[in-house]
Amino acid sequence: MAEKVYQCTVSAPVNIAVIKYWGKRDVGLNLPTNSSLSVTLSQDDLRTVTTASCSKSFEKDTLWLNGHVEDISTSKRLSVCVEELRSARQGLEKEDDSLDKISQLKLHVVSKNNFPTAAGLASSAAGYAAFTEAVARLYGLPWTPTQLSRIARQGSGSACRSLFGGYVAWEMGELHSGADSVAVQVEPVEHWPEMRVAIMVASAAKKGVSSTSGMQSTVASSTLFQKRVKNIVPERMQAMKQAIRKHDFETFAKLTMTDSNQFHACCLDTFPPIFYLNDTSRAIIRVVENINAAAGKTVAAYTFDAGPNAVVYFLEENSAYVLDTLYAVSRNAQGWEDSERNPTSVKID
Ligand code: 2P0
């Protein structure tokens, strides 16, 4: 007779930071040097779907990521997540004798993005969020998204923010254990439903310097970065939360653009320097400036992560104006990856 298979499927969204995470104070536990804040994109557009299963017939913990097989025990990040979740399940099984002893079974996890990994979008955030949630639900853990975020954070820092919709803060915390370095929802998406986002793909190539190694070079060598984490981000986090609570788009936009610029300035201040923006990225910064100048107020805000692709925030009321201008630019200018797809307008969630 075939062995019983226990199974659970979840999906998780992509998030785009408006106050950037860059730098770890503890590499082993993935504890950040500063808090960060992001907006969660709609799963209608971009998501990772993950199925976790376990059975007596499985021989080792295995992950299939977009069809590529990986032994979970050879990945420190994946093993840390699995160990914590499995030990929590063991705790439940000890308390309640009627529970099946599934913590003793090997896991199979199948994960797939509905967007190309090479699209330059943060796939690790949605990936580790979905991985953590799928295994936690398979194990029946009665945990809140904030409790799950502590686990997902150890897989990939930005993943902790993908466990919530809307506007999400990752509070850096103070404890050496990392117990208080978790994500919390600042506001749900319904709080500001007029917010829109467009993604412009300047290059689908894989980035040259990974975030994980790039941020530690910055911690080790940038003096600007030291000033950023001590003197600038704490106030910016408060100001950003206020702007979101008050639906103050102009302040939201200014903080978003200046924080993106400062993150890339810290990359340039790293030795040897890290260049994530390219000529196409810089052109889009000018286009957004022109959009705002022509409108006579700030109606669009750009932000760039560890790559050249642009994410532009705007409100529904300015949607036609902002998107038409971005379309016109991508059709007429050289450098866009695929002018037919640029920009892609994505909902938030
Ligand atoms: C962010 N980024 O806040 C920032 C902005 C990139 C630029 O989070 O080493 O992939 O796995 O914790 O989460 C990218 O960093 O790095 C990132 P790890 P992660 O979204």
Residues 132 and 222 in one domain: no
Residues 160 and 270 in one domain: no
Please give the ipTM for the structure prediction: 0.99
Beta bridge partners of 311: 199, 303
Cα 22 from chain centroid (whole Å): 12
pLDDT of residue 242: 98
| Residue nearest ligand 1's atom 20 by CA | 17
In SS3 terms, 33-97 reads as CCCEEEEEECCCCCEEEEEEEEECCCCCCEEEECCEEEEHHHCHHHHHHHHHHHHHHHHHHHHCC
Residues 277 and 330 in one domain: yes
- CA angle 134-70-87, nearest 5°? 45
CA 39–ligand 1 middle distance (angstroms): 14
Q: Is 156 in the pocket of ligand 1 (CB under 6 A)?
A: yes
Shortest CA distance to 117 belongs to which of 14, 236, 187, 2?
14
pLDDT of residue 115: 74
CA 5–ligand 1 middle distance (angstroms): 35
CB atoms within 10 A of CB 187: 15
Q: Print burial letters for 272-293: b (CB count within 10 Å at least 16), e (below 16).
A: eebebbeebbebbbebbeebbe
Q: Going edge to edge, which strands form the sheet with 106-113?
A: 5-13, 47-55, 106-113, 62-65, 68-71
Query: Which burial class, exposed, middle or buried, applies to 126 when counting CB atoms under 10 A from its CB (0-12, 13-18, 19+)?
Result: buried
Name residue 25's amino acid.
Answer: R
Residues 254 and 169 in one domain: no
Phi, psi torsion values for 24, nearest 5 degrees: -120, 140
CA 163–ligand 1 middle distance (angstroms): 15
Shortest CA distance to 234 belongs to which of 39, 38, 37, 35?
35
Q: Helices (DSSP H) in the chain: which residue ranges? A: 76-95, 123-138, 145-155, 211-221, 223-227, 233-245, 249-268, 279-295, 319-332
CA 119–ligand 1 middle distance (angstroms): 16
Residues 182 and 283 in one domain: no
CA 237–ligand 1 middle distance (angstroms): 17
The last residue of a domain, from among 152, 175, 190: 190
CA 251–ligand 1 middle distance (angstroms): 24
Cβ proximity of 228 and 266 under 8 Å: yes
Residues 28 and 90 in one domain: yes
pLDDT digits (tens, 9 = 90+) for 36-88: 999 999 888 889 999 999 999 999 999 999 889 999 999 999 999 999 999 99
Residues 131 and 48 in one domain: yes
Beta bridge partners of 348: 41
Pairing assessment for the beta strands 15-19 and 62-65 based on DSSP bridges: unpaired
Question: In which residue ranges of the chain is pLDDT below 70?
Answer: 116-122, 207, 334, 337-341
CA 77 to ligand 1: nearest atom: 11
How long, in residues, is the chain? Answer: 349
Structure tokens at 6: 């226990």
| Structural domain for 337, as ranges | 195-346
CA 158 to ligand 1: nearest atom: 13
Distance, in Å, from the CA atom of 45 to the CA atom of 256, rounded to the nearest integer, reads: 22
pLDDT of residue 204: 72
Residues 201 and 182 in one domain: no
Residue matched to tokens 């103050």: 248
Distance, in Å, from the CA atom of 125 to the CA atom of 59, rounded to the nearest integer, reads: 28
CATH at residue 231: 3.30.70.890
The last residue of a domain, from among 174, 190, 206: 190
Structure tokens at 308: 């050249």
Residues 210 and 338 in one domain: yes
Count of structural domains within the chain: 2
Residues 153 and 294 in one domain: no
Residues 176 and 199 in one domain: no
Distance, in Å, from the CA atom of 181 to the CA atom of 174, rounded to the nearest integer, reads: 7
Mutation pick for ligand 1 pocket among 21, 163, 206, 228 (CB with most ligand atoms within 8 Å): 21
Q: Is 36 in the pocket of ligand 1 (CB under 6 A)?
A: yes
The last residue of a domain, from among 133, 167, 190: 190
Residues 133 and 267 in one domain: no
| Residue nearest ligand 1's atom 11 by CA | 156
